[in-house]
A and B are shown apart, each in its own frame.
Chain A
């Protein structure tokens, strides 16, 4: 016997350490190779192995051992090529021979820091538990004493306002012969206000999204507005917009975002004199719910020709926006100046509002904005928001849930009597479990004027594979297997922009019906039930106390 050797592979990971294991069925596999070709991370590879086969022929057992070489599909145990559970292999397999299986006992985060490189990914917070929003119930049902409305027959005003709303005392009105008229001689500034659909499409940039994904959403938005009369608006995200769109009549359906990297704004400013419509609004991004304190990040492999030209940067460089605006000294003057500058650029015809991460300090921001007559709204993005790229720790551990943040801000405005002056936009986890309309309705009843939705739409319109078990979440790598968050033509040509547009319209039409189905039994149709918190309950006393709603069981 030779000397005892160190065990082979001792410093390698076992497949049980990985978050997803591949279940492959030899008997079903036709060795077509589609699964290994489609795998975005090459977590599965074709291989060969020697099999020992014992067989017997004849009337009496005469076992015969033979060895043969067979081709197989096997999972690699390289942490850089971990199976993400995306299940594209299962999707393309013609014979149901392969599927990933979640391993709840994995130790992925113990090892996903090779080379000292902290784990970065895209997607959402990995927390599969229901959010507070999903725990809220609508319990004040109109019964007999106040007949419920009819969602199919009554008219519903499912609209909200984006823009600073003057208090009634400040309106430049004068009464003449029993009729009110706008006083043309008044020097009162009436801020621009848009009437929009209360579910907005949140900021997802050209660049983070592939051309067909962005185009599909944009087409769907145009259809919703022009064919269905639903004034749905969509935010651009940081990175500008294609110049042709900037100069088109469709610009009015879009909110242009300016973030700390100012990407895309050279092109926007150059297009200004040629714009035939004003944008719906300008969003100044100060924070993002999914990764508070982090700036935007577009990895180099997504910065290809189109993106580079829109953003005004060289190709194939990492585009990291700073975590904060470099001009930001304090909210009192720097943010106010930013709001004024943006307002001036469009002649004070366009609402300008900041977007911040959900945070305990949101009320401080709110109160500053409440005193600034040019601040048009406040968008708060809660911890369940999504992103195209961020550190895992930021996504999983940083941030504030949206429900309490929006509630506290609303009640703070109520205390000041400004609950209708500064609209609150709630984002971050709306539709996390698929309950888009219910989550939106709950946030509105907690005090939001509108909600903003991103991830849910990527999932429902383009089949984004991500979930709260870290499935897929490859957005940052540019290898999105659905073609949603990639600039690689080989991947994004899988995505049909027309189908995305069609699905977007489906989603909004269905949500519209569901909102009516929620509001009708609660007897609200002529106006949104903003702040109608007596209609909400929750089966958790602590949550009920925090939100100031009733407890039910």
Chain B
């Protein structure tokens, strides 16, 4: 089962903190891959926040084709970041790992956010398609202030491989997944975290209802609901569909994937709406076992479980820095100075959120539709 380590903080920190947390959970991942997703990136990227970042891996030919394609679409490359690759035994180096910062095509300068997002998604999908057959181009995300790194290997070794110890790369929100290969062949597109238009998430466990959920998402007509090399990619897309496409507040993500029973719905102040949602979105109900950790475009991090809570998770930290992880030992590694008695172990009705800036933890109770705030020193 994959291990998950997310940290959100008010100050920039290195992804090595996430990787060291994953290292403490090592019995749960087998070195079959790691995914890192950074949001609100610091250092060299701080002045470049408005420029969308295309993250991916290319062969030499792929990179050439990619550059030509981006140029033909009117994107202007303003910066390129490459990890300082150090050869590490057991990790097969690809030709080029990159994060390219682009300026929008001139005709998009005055476009709305939605139009720009549609452009970025369309471009990413076109690139993905271009490189799919020969794996010459693999792209993970294309969005402002979000950078993704993925590779097959042990997380700690990958940290060294990508040269992350040099401290160049920092962010305020970082998701990290240590992959445990189960049902699927090793494919970087199957590696979490997944991203679409500002929403990122990673999940552990299996998704038993994957097929009908995938069919439902793919039939929504939303560009970007493709791929699904992993059964967990649907969780990111359900989040996007709930919040972005339907315009529902994020708490309804919980109501959609793990709906209340009929009699429980009647006790909610928004029972009328819930009844309709329960019917209308039943194809998106999950059964787990899953622990989902992710972020929204506004930088809110969250953790939610399947309704039988067959995958645990924990949230803990101090004011200004919180960790959301699949195991508490990871939080111990990341934020040892915290008051452990304030750790939150989300139960079946809970949706835990940490707002941008990591000031506090909010636990939303699905049954009562009430939020409890937990603040650390």
Task: Report A's interface with B, CB cutoff 8 A.
Answer: 142, 145-147, 149, 154-155, 157, 159, 161, 165-169, 171, 173, 175, 178-182, 190, 193, 195, 414-417, 419-420, 522-534
Residues of B close to A525: CB separation below 8 A: 287, 308
With beta carbons under 8 angstroms apart, the residue of B205, B246, B249, B269 that contacts A146 is B205
Answer yes or no: B85 CB below 8 A from chain A CBs.
no
Number of interface residues of B (CB under 8 A): 47
Cα of A529 to Cα of B283 in the assembled complex, Å: 9
Residues of A close to B183: CB separation below 8 A: 145
What secondary structure prevails in chain A residues at the interface with B? loop
Contact with A along B244-287 (1 / 0, CB 8 A): 01111101100000110110000001101110110111110111
In the assembled complex, how far is the CB of residue A528 from the closest CB belonging to chain B, in whole angstroms? 8
Answer yes or no: B369 CB below 8 A from chain A CBs.
yes
Please state if A417 and B219 are interface contacts (CB–CB under 8 Å). Answer: yes
Residues of B close to A419: CB separation below 8 A: 212, 215-216, 219, 283
Residues of B close to A142: CB separation below 8 A: 206, 208
Please state if B279 and A157 are interface contacts (CB–CB under 8 Å). Answer: no
Answer yes or no: B209 CB below 8 A from chain A CBs.
yes
With beta carbons under 8 angstroms apart, the residue of A149, A161, A522 that contacts B282 is A161
Cα of A415 to Cα of B215 in the assembled complex, Å: 9
Residues of B close to A529: CB separation below 8 A: 209, 212
Task: Report B's interface with A, CB cutoff 8 A.
Answer: 1, 182-183, 205-206, 208-212, 215-216, 219-221, 245-249, 251-252, 258-259, 261-262, 269-270, 272-274, 276-277, 279-283, 285-289, 307-308, 310, 369
Considering the complex, give the chain B residue whose CB is closest to the CB of A533: B211
With beta carbons under 8 angstroms apart, the residue of B206, B216, B249 that contacts A180 is B249
Residues of A close to B285: CB separation below 8 A: 526-527
Cα of A146 to Cα of B262 in the assembled complex, Å: 26
Give the 9 A-B residue pairs with the shortest CB-CB distance, closest first: A146-B206, A523-B208, A417-B219, A527-B285, A180-B273, A531-B212, A182-B272, A534-B211, A168-B280
Q: A179-B249, A529-B212 are in contact. List 10 more A-B contacts (CB 8 A).
A: A146-B206, A157-B261, A159-B262, A171-B280, A195-B262, A420-B280, A420-B281, A523-B288, A527-B282, A531-B215
Residues of B close to A415: CB separation below 8 A: 219
Cα of A202 to Cα of B247 in the assembled complex, Å: 41
Please state if A526 and B286 are interface contacts (CB–CB under 8 Å). Answer: yes
Residues of A close to B221: CB separation below 8 A: 417
With beta carbons under 8 angstroms apart, the residue of A161, A181, A193, A526 that contacts B259 is A526
Please state if A149 and B308 are interface contacts (CB–CB under 8 Å). Answer: yes
Please state if B215 and A193 are interface contacts (CB–CB under 8 Å). Answer: no
Please state if B246 and A524 are interface contacts (CB–CB under 8 Å). Answer: no
Q: A154-B308, A168-B277, A534-B211 are in contact. Are A179 and B219 (CB under 8 A)?
A: no
With beta carbons under 8 angstroms apart, the residue of B262, B270, B274, B289 that contacts A147 is B289
Residues of B close to A161: CB separation below 8 A: 279, 282
Considering the complex, give the chain A residue whose CB is closest to the CB of B276: A171
Please state if B280 and A532 are interface contacts (CB–CB under 8 Å). Answer: no
What secondary structure prevails in chain B residues at the interface with A? loop
Please state if A530 and B212 are interface contacts (CB–CB under 8 Å). Answer: yes
Please state if A179 and B206 are interface contacts (CB–CB under 8 Å). Answer: no
Please state if A171 and B277 are interface contacts (CB–CB under 8 Å). Answer: yes
Residues of A close to B220: CB separation below 8 A: 417
Please state if A175 and B248 are interface contacts (CB–CB under 8 Å). Answer: yes
With beta carbons under 8 angstroms apart, the residue of A159, A178, A526, A530 that contacts B258 is A526
Residues of B close to A169: CB separation below 8 A: 245-246
In the assembled complex, how far is the CB of residue A397 from the closest CB belonging to chain B, in whole angstroms? 35
Residues of A close to B288: CB separation below 8 A: 146, 523
Please state if A145 and B280 are interface contacts (CB–CB under 8 Å). Answer: no
Residues of B close to A168: CB separation below 8 A: 246, 277, 280-281
Cα of A235 to Cα of B87 in the assembled complex, Å: 71
Please state if B219 and A166 are interface contacts (CB–CB under 8 Å). Answer: no
With beta carbons under 8 angstroms apart, the residue of B206, B248, B251, B280 that contacts A165 is B280
Considering the complex, give the chain A residue whose CB is closest to the CB of B255: A180
In the assembled complex, how far is the CB of residue B232 from the closest CB belonging to chain A, in whole angstroms? 12
Cα of A419 to Cα of B220 in the assembled complex, Å: 11
15 of the cross-chain contacts (CB-CB < 8 Å) are: A154-B308, A168-B246, A168-B277, A168-B280, A171-B273, A173-B248, A173-B276, A175-B249, A179-B249, A417-B216, A524-B208, A524-B287, A526-B258, A527-B282, A530-B283
Please state if B261 and A155 are interface contacts (CB–CB under 8 Å). Answer: yes
Residues of B close to A179: CB separation below 8 A: 249, 269-270, 273, 369
Cα of A538 to Cα of B125 in the assembled complex, Å: 36
Cα of A157 to Cα of B262 in the assembled complex, Å: 10
With beta carbons under 8 angstroms apart, the residue of A154, A165, A173, A531 that contacts B279 is A165
Considering the complex, give the chain A residue whose CB is closest to the CB of B369: A179
In the assembled complex, how far is the CB of residue A448 from the closest CB belonging to chain B, in whole angstroms? 12
Residues of B close to A157: CB separation below 8 A: 261
Residues of B close to A420: CB separation below 8 A: 216, 280-283
Residues of A close to B286: CB separation below 8 A: 526
With beta carbons under 8 angstroms apart, the residue of A181, A414, A534 that contacts B270 is A181
Please state if A532 and B212 are interface contacts (CB–CB under 8 Å). Answer: yes
Cα of A524 to Cα of B206 in the assembled complex, Å: 12
Cα of A351 to Cα of B247 in the assembled complex, Å: 29
In the assembled complex, how far is the CB of residue A40 from the closest CB belonging to chain B, in whole angstroms? 47
Please state if A181 and B262 are interface contacts (CB–CB under 8 Å). Answer: no
Q: A145-B182, A181-B272 are in contact. Are A193 and B211 (CB under 8 A)?
A: no
Q: A180-B270, A181-B273, A527-B287 are in contact. Are A522 and B208 (CB under 8 A)?
A: yes
In the assembled complex, how far is the CB of residue B19 from the closest CB belonging to chain A, in whole angstroms? 24
